[in-house]
């Protein structure tokens, strides 16, 4: 049996709403231990078109194959950004939105029973960076954050996460996706069974619609923090399959 000379992929991790790239810390440590290159760009969380363009530019700067991973809202971003990215060999969705053409995040959430977190979200108005503009942003109420976002993490961790939230622009949830990358690229989906932000039934619907390889992750919406080994196992499987070899 001949060993492949293909380059091991770079794993690009895109964080979702209410958090930052540091949410991938445990996942990054395990991927590094496995000898894989990793990038975790800071997602602007300003709008689907803008955020996808930002990630697309980051992909263009990477030589060689890429496994693109999205959590939460960033599933919509990787769906949109990877369509014309020839170096993306696999997509991984972790409790994430895998949108179809013309669809937005609200379309998916409205299709299923409301998640328990609905009443925990608050809206605040913040002057936008665009002259003359104003943008409403979403946060999770601090006192409800542990229960709805990360019930399987210790209070010492959720106390920090709740005050370090990164807000997402309301308009990001209404941006409509272009042709989905998952229609032409192999995809994996990690379903968080105890998720209180994205209904697990909605997650399973999106996974089956994209004919993704499904992994059941027994964790909260913060499964990337609470179950990093299970997340990494899925990413490695996607990387190996994307290149058709063991890495």
Q: pLDDT tens digits, residue range 207-221?
A: 999 999 999 999 999
What gap in Å lies between CA 220 and CA 115, rounded to an integer? 12
Q: Inform me whether the pLDDT recorded for 125 exceeds 80.
A: no
**pLDDT > 90 fraction of the chain, expressed in percent and rounded:** 84
Comparing 9-13, 134-138, 190-194, the range with the smallest average pLDDT is 134-138
Q: Inform me whether the pLDDT recorded for 2 exceeds 60.
A: no
Taking residue 187's Cβ as centre, other Cβ atoms within 10 Å add up to 26
What gap in Å lies between CA 140 and CA 122, rounded to an integer? 6
pLDDT (0 to 100) of residue 3: 39
Interhelix angle 25-33/228-243, nearest 10 degrees: 50
In the chain, at which residue ranges do the beta strands (DSSP E only) sit?
A: 10-14, 37-39, 66-72, 88-96, 121-127, 134-140, 168-169, 187-192, 213-217
Q: Inform me whether the pLDDT recorded for 158 exceeds 90.
A: yes
Q: Which residue has the higher pLDDT, 119 or 18?
A: 18
Q: Do the bridges between strand 10-14 and strand 37-39 make them parallel or antiparallel, or are there none, so unpaired?
A: parallel
**pLDDT > 70 fraction of the chain, expressed in percent and rounded:** 90
| Tokens matching residue 177 | 């996706």
pLDDT (0 to 100) of residue 120: 85
Assign 69 a pLDDT band (cuts: 50, 70, 90): very high
The whole-number average pLDDT for the span 57-84 is 96
Angle in degrees, CA 228, 97, 68, rounded to 5: 55
What gap in Å lies between CA 75 and CA 3, rounded to an integer? 33
CB 19 within 8 A of CB 166: yes
pLDDT (0 to 100) of residue 123: 82
| Tokens matching residue 221 | 């919406």
Q: Inform me whether the pLDDT recorded for 119 exceeds 90.
A: no
Q: Which residue has the higher pLDDT, 199 or 246?
A: 199
Nearest residue to 18 via CA among 196, 222, 229: 222
| Tokens matching residue 183 | 């229609």
Q: Inform me whether the pLDDT recorded for 5 exceeds 50.
A: no
Round the average pLDDT of the chain to a whole number and report it: 91
The whole-number average pLDDT for the span 187-195 is 97
Taking residue 149's Cβ as centre, other Cβ atoms within 10 Å add up to 26
Phi, psi of 100 (to 5 degrees): -105, 175
Does this model's pTM top 0.95? My answer is no
pLDDT (0 to 100) of residue 194: 96
């Amino acid at each position: 049996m001949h060993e492949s000379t293909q380059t091991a992929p770079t794993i690009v991790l895109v964080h979702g709403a209410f958090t930052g790239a540091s949410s991938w810390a445990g996942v990054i440590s395990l991927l590094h231990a496995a000898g894989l290159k990793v990038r975790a760009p800071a997602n602007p969380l300003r709008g689907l078109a803008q955020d996808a363009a930002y990630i697309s530019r980051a992909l263009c700067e990477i030589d060689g194959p890429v496994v693109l991973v999205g959590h939460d809202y960033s599933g919509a971003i990787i769906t949109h950004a990877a369509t014309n990215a020839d170096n993306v060999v696999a997509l991984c969705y972790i409790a994430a939105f895998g949108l179809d053409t013309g669809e937005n995040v609200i379309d998916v959430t409205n299709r299923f029973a409301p998640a328990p977190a609905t009443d925990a979200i608050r809206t605040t108005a913040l002057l936008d960076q665009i002259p003359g503009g104003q943008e409403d942003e979403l946060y999770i109420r601090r006192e409800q954050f542990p229960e709805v976002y990360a019930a399987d993490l210790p209070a010492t961790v959720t106390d920090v996460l709740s005050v370090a939230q990164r807000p997402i622009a309301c308009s990001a949830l209404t941006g409509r996706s272009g042709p989905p990358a998952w229609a032409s690229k192999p995809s994996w989906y990690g379903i968080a069974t105890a998720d209180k932000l994205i209904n697990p039934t909605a997650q399973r619907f999106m996974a089956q619609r994209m004919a993704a390889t499904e992994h059941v992750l027994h964790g909260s919406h913060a499964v990337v923090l609470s179950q990093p080994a299970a997340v990494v196992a899925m990413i490695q499987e996607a990387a190996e399959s994307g290149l058709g070899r063991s890495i």
